[in-house]
Amino acid sequence: MITEEIRNKAQSWLLGNYDAATKNQIQQWYEKENYTDLVDAFYQDLEFGTGGLRGIMGVGSNRINQYTIGAATQGLANYLKKSFLKQKIRVAIAHDSRNKSRELAEITAQIFAKNGILVYLVPALRPTPFLSFAIRHLNCKSGVIITASHNPKEYNGYKAYWTDGSQLVAPHDKNVLDEIRKVKNDDIDFSPQPNHPNISIIGEDVENAYYEALKGLCLSPESIKRQENLKIVYTPIHGAGVTMVPKALENIGFKNVNVVYLQSTPDGNFPTVIYPNPEEAEAMELGLEECLRIDADLLLGTDPDADRVGIAVKNHHQKWQLLNGNQTASLLVYYLLKNWEKQGKLQGKEYIAKTIVTSYLLNEIAEHYKVECFDTLTGFKYIAEYLRNLEGQKTYIGGGEESYGFLAGDFVRDKDAISACALIAEMTAVAKDEKKTLFDVLIEMYLKFGLYWEKLLSFTKKGKNGQEEIKNLMERFRNTPPQTLGGEKVVKVKDYQLSIEKNLVEKTTSKLDFEKSNVLQFITESGSVISARPSGTEPKIKFYFSVKTHLPDKKSFDNKVSELESKIAAMSDDLGLG
């Protein structure tokens, strides 16, 4: 249904200073009475979510196009000029392999430049973590990367960063959004100006500085040297990772890095996959085929902007198995803390960080090594906020999230699949040095800390109607939370939107010390945690299941996993998820 507000907004685009193709598209929607597309294009304006602006490319205020990108850039430029009065303002700009990404990055650069801001633009596509590093290295006040991360090919987006190389958090995100809302299309100068004096290209020296910083993360150079011929298969899934991940692995000593040929060319149509996301098994299939062909030791896969990494290793049945983000993050934290302790680097001021929907195995590992663990809302910007607030007081070791993001060290302030790939390869080399596989280390970890098992169920709900469905689902669970899940009594309910925690056993209510976020968590008597959360980057609602049990010995692993899978299935049924 077309409301008066939607009709007025569409009319303003028809009559305003927009290009002919844009106006023709709107006119066609009217002529063909295609009101569904018209409504979806204009029923709202794109807003900053957990990963900045993100949406389907196309015409309208709810789409990614030069006008929504232009407004975001002009609003950010206005905010920067207000925030840094009489200071020289520099920004860095990058982009991934998506369709129109270079074009939108150049438009962004031009708008900043015409606002008197000095711009450092990448020479070609580069990963998100490189942008974060460049902001810090080049002493920039802000930065932007044009990317939609792991979303399908129809999407693009705009991630904005602050002075420390982290994505915008409060109050900057809200203040920038306020500035964007004030921008009218006529306020933006879209006219191209080739060779603008305020725009310069980022040189190789910045990239080399990143590789040098990466070497500082290495904990076991001797093992890498002994296992320099470790057979590594890497797929960039047609994304920006191909520009840096192979070189990063080679720079720390690995000499046998095999890039999956059919997915090695950057391509915004992602021709070999449905979703360019290492979380999806289908996206890793070609990599697994290559692993079988050369009898590899490790498979690494990164998403289009190379901030997420997925991995596969041989399991205890000598079959290739994809690990999920919780398992990878847990292995990385276990490896880092174990080696920091072994090398006498733990001084009592160290910490790790994770999101509230990431495995509580990380908390368990941190407690064992007497390292503080901070839980944050979903979005790596919240982990980066700890790095900023605790700088000079505590030492950050590493942190991760279940959605395949990890960051070790603090020279980048966003999840970094480049450094994560290097550390995962190093872990694998150390394991092989000890006549083990990485899967052996995974089971060793479960034996030591308990078998934590996680599963994500995700439901796509597109458009305005889908948004209403998601809203209704969350309201139902908020108003009538489940009493039992999988035969276990629910003893606590955490509502991050209302900032309250209810203890259903003691009949008490306490305050949650987090920024408000539309997340619900149900905790059972055995410690299972089930979280419900609408995605901040996709038209999805996600349900995160985390269950655990004691693993008495290696032989029991398969049976115990089967028991936990059955428990998760029962919990899903109890929530009516099917």
The helix, strand and coil proportions of the chain, stated in percent and rounded to the nearest 5, come to 40, 20, 35
Residues 6+ apart with CB under 8 A from 70: 107, 111, 185, 188, 190
Q: Which two tokens stand for residue 313?
A: 């290793």
Peptide bond preceding 171 in cis form (omega within 30 of 0): yes
DSSP 51: T
In whole angstroms, give the CA distance from residue 191 to residue 297: 52
Beta strands in 87-141 (DSSP E): 90-95, 118-121
CB atoms within 10 A of CB 118: 18
Helices assigned H by DSSP within 188-318:
204-215, 221-226, 245-251, 285-294
Structural contact between residues 344 and 164, judged by C-beta atoms closer than 8 angstroms = no
Q: Which two tokens stand for residue 539?
A: 């038209």
In the residue annotation, 149 being an active-site residue is answered as: yes
**Which residue is catalytic, options 61, 101, 149, 419?**
149
| Residue type for position 387 | L
Helices assigned H by DSSP within 355-462:
361-368, 380-389, 417-433, 438-449
The closest alpha carbon to 343, from 219, 178, 437, 442, belongs to 219
| Residue type for position 532 | A
Q: Which two tokens stand for residue 42?
A: 């204009």
The closest alpha carbon to 363, from 422, 236, 450, 447, belongs to 450
Residues with active-site annotation: 149
